[in-house]
Amino acid sequence: MGWQRKILRVDLTKGTAASEPLNMEWANLYLGERGLATKYLWENMDPKVDPMAPDNVLIFATGPLTGTMASTSGRYAVVTKGPLTGAIACSNSGGKFGAELKFAGYDLLVIHGRSPKPVYLHILDDQVEFLPAGEIWGTSVWHTEEWLKAHQQNPLLKVAAIGVAGERGVRFACIINDLHRAAGRSGVGAVMGSKNLKAIAVHGTVGVKVNDPKRFMQVVKETKAKLWDNDGRRELTELGTNAMIDSMQEFGGLPTRNFQAVQFDGYDKINPEAMMEAKPNGHRNLITNKACFGCTIACGRIAHIDKDHFTIVNRKEYWHASGGLEYETAFAFGPMVGVDDIDALTFAGYMMNEQGMDPISFGGTLAAAMELYEMGVITEKETDGVPLNFGNAEALTIMAEKTGKYEGFGQTLGLGSQRMCEKYGHPELSMSVKGQEFAGYDSRALQGMGLGYATSNRGACHLKQDTYDQDMEDQTGNGKAQPCKKSQDRIAVIDSTGLCLFTAGGWGMEGFRKQIDAACEGEWTRERLLEIGERIWNLERQFNLAAGFTAKDDTLPERLLKVPAPSGTAKGRVNELDKMLPEYYKLRGWTAKGVPTKKTLHRLGLA
């Protein structure tokens, strides 16, 4: 147990929905969530298909520990081919939706085809319906959730939905669940939109069982206590993920004005202290912290915007509280675009959640547009009369709203930085890998992170490897390939459990192992789990190679490889990818061209 041993397969073209047994052979080889969904994707579609075509398959996947009493058990993953990248997309989200899907009795929800008309999926345990979404098509995520609960007269529904951005194919549209949690990256929301699927509303009453309940409860009691005592946990609870902005500023790894700088003067106007501090008029940005399902960390921030701020002074509909700044939103709407107005940042965050967009990619794309504007490549003629200079808080908030609603210059921003920069003849200004924009870590200062960005199977991503400690200790590329590879495999396992990566510091692999071992049948050793991680990584790689990617795509923009960091502890350094990448390929058991050898595939059971 742990698994429900059942999946729901939906074909939107045919209008059919049927449950089928979970392939337990695959579950034992890929665990759940990210890993298992990758296997199902691989077996169910041709990696060459256009991500926006009906043949792309969209998978919502829970893990064996999703919906259990293990701390942070609210995670689920959305796996599909990403329209931002053309690579495999794997977007992980929290909130309460994932656990609810599991409570309804399903490990995975596999969606094929395209509905002829907008629909939403209504799931009450084994009762599954497609219902017309005409009334909510063209409306926001927030309105959609409210409408669904009212329309179904069921306040217990948990909702994952897209906004206008997803409907209109914004390349970095995301899927929002529970109003402000996101399966954020690679444009998974645009895939949902291309399928004419507005929302999934689910209520489950089946519940989740584990294999050895007595041992599981004992283990969970220990892991929760251990997590509670962990300093990293304490910082996340008290300050949220935005605590990172202070360390990146100090270190000189805070990408600023499209990576033209690595430190930002206004960082202390948007850091956790600024969020907590009352302004002269008494307004305080932060209200409280908030947990996802089952989570004993509660790193989420609930904030509100100052009613006197220009963004909402005449817009009462935004006077309510909602999800506040996380580090990545603070970075992408702050230093990356040169803005230090905390209310403007918070408003832009509201726009992302309301219409379903990835703030990292939006910020990265806007930053590239600002650089194009300052170079004179684009003018106010293109930008609907809005001066797009760095530091313009009004431009940030206007463009966030326009992109979410797919209006004016927002349509161009909705292409993502790579397509937009190519359109204007400056592809070098897109700070991305495989078309996906960087998170808030400059890889001239964090070398291993650069290798992770270059090799991440979903394009630039800070969450698929963990070399922070090594990067902070030593700013060369020496010895980074090994920890990068190992952490990638480790995280692939964690992402497949149904639990949150933010517990890793408190638990180590042993914490995950013990919980899996008590919840699932069979014997779960550290070696077995790490092999699963490596298998997942290699299968994702196989998907990308089959989709047409080559070693040439495992690279970083010139700005990081040739232009030295202008300040900070890494002043004068560039990223040493050329040194790290061959070593990395070797450690992976791949050829010099980045292709897994037959021996490697055979060892992992992939050949």
Contacts with other proteins, residue ranges (CB under 8 A): 67-69, 71, 96, 99, 103, 156, 179-180, 203-210, 213, 217, 224, 228, 287-296, 298, 300, 302, 304, 320-323
Q: Which of 77, 97, 198 is nearest to 143 (CA)?
A: 198
Q: Are strands 6-11 and 108-112 parallel, antiparallel or unpaired?
A: parallel
The 3-state DSSP class for residue 410 equals helix
Nearer to other proteins, 70 or 386 (CB): 70
Nearer to other proteins, 296 or 411 (CB): 296
For 23, half-sphere exposure in the C-beta direction (CA atoms, 13 angstrom radius) is 11
Cα 434 from Cα 418, distance rounded (Å):
9
**Sheet of 286-290, strand order:** 286-290, 300-303, 322-323
Q: Are 457 and 488 in contact (CB under 8 A)?
A: no
Question: Least distance from C-beta 63 to other proteins, angstroms?
Answer: 14
Nearer to other proteins, 217 or 276 (CB): 217
Other Cβ atoms closer than 10 A to 398: 22
Residue that the structure tokens 């402000």 belong to: 180
Nearer to other proteins, 118 or 300 (CB): 300
Task: Record the tokens describing residue 435, joined without a space.
Answer: 């078309």
Q: Are 502 and 68 in contact (CB under 8 A)?
A: no
Instruction: Give me the amino acid identity at 345.
Output: L
Question: Least distance from C-beta 2 to other proteins, angstroms?
Answer: 11
Cα 513 from Cα 531, distance rounded (Å):
13
Q: Which of 411, 259, 410, 276 is nearest to 337 (CA)?
A: 259
Burial of 213 per CB tally in 10 Å (0-12, 13-18, 19+) = middle
Burial of 472 per CB tally in 10 Å (0-12, 13-18, 19+) = middle
Q: Which of 430, 416, 421, 424 is nearest to 377 (CA)?
A: 424
Question: Least distance from C-beta 207 to other proteins, angstroms?
Answer: 3
Question: Least distance from C-beta 242 to other proteins, angstroms?
Answer: 17
Nearer to other proteins, 238 or 558 (CB): 238
* Region of 525 on the Ramachandran plot (φ > 0 left; ψ -120 to 50 alpha; else beta): beta
Burial of 317 per CB tally in 10 Å (0-12, 13-18, 19+) = exposed
DSSP label at residue 381:
T
Nearer to other proteins, 158 or 462 (CB): 158
Cα 349 from Cα 242, distance rounded (Å):
14
Nearer to other proteins, 49 or 206 (CB): 206
Question: Least distance from C-beta 377 to other proteins, angstroms?
Answer: 39
Question: Least distance from C-beta 99 to other proteins, angstroms?
Answer: 8
Question: Least distance from C-beta 297 to other proteins, angstroms?
Answer: 9
Question: Least distance from C-beta 179 to other proteins, angstroms?
Answer: 5
DSSP label at residue 243:
G
Question: Least distance from C-beta 288 to other proteins, angstroms?
Answer: 7
Cα 485 from Cα 483, distance rounded (Å):
6
Q: Are 190 and 169 in contact (CB under 8 A)?
A: yes
Question: Least distance from C-beta 185 to other proteins, angstroms?
Answer: 22
Nearer to other proteins, 298 or 595 (CB): 298
Question: Least distance from C-beta 210 to other proteins, angstroms?
Answer: 8
Nearer to other proteins, 148 or 556 (CB): 148
The 3-state DSSP class for residue 366 equals helix
Nearer to other proteins, 52 or 206 (CB): 206
Sign of CA dihedral 86, 362, 235, 225: negative
Q: Are 443 and 559 in contact (CB under 8 A)?
A: no
Q: Write phi, then psi, for 180 (nearest 5 degrees).
A: -145, 30
Sign of CA dihedral 396, 398, 401, 403: negative
Question: Least distance from C-beta 403 to other proteins, angstroms?
Answer: 21
Q: Write phi, then psi, for 590 (nearest 5 degrees).
A: -115, 160
Cα 515 from Cα 219, distance rounded (Å):
6
Task: Record the tokens describing residue 71, joined without a space.
Answer: 């701390």
Nearer to other proteins, 150 or 217 (CB): 217
Nearer to other proteins, 254 or 295 (CB): 295
Question: Least distance from C-beta 336 to other proteins, angstroms?
Answer: 25
Question: Least distance from C-beta 40 to other proteins, angstroms?
Answer: 24
Q: Which of 106, 128, 131 is nearest to 118 (CA)?
A: 131
Nearer to other proteins, 156 or 592 (CB): 156
Nearer to other proteins, 296 or 482 (CB): 296
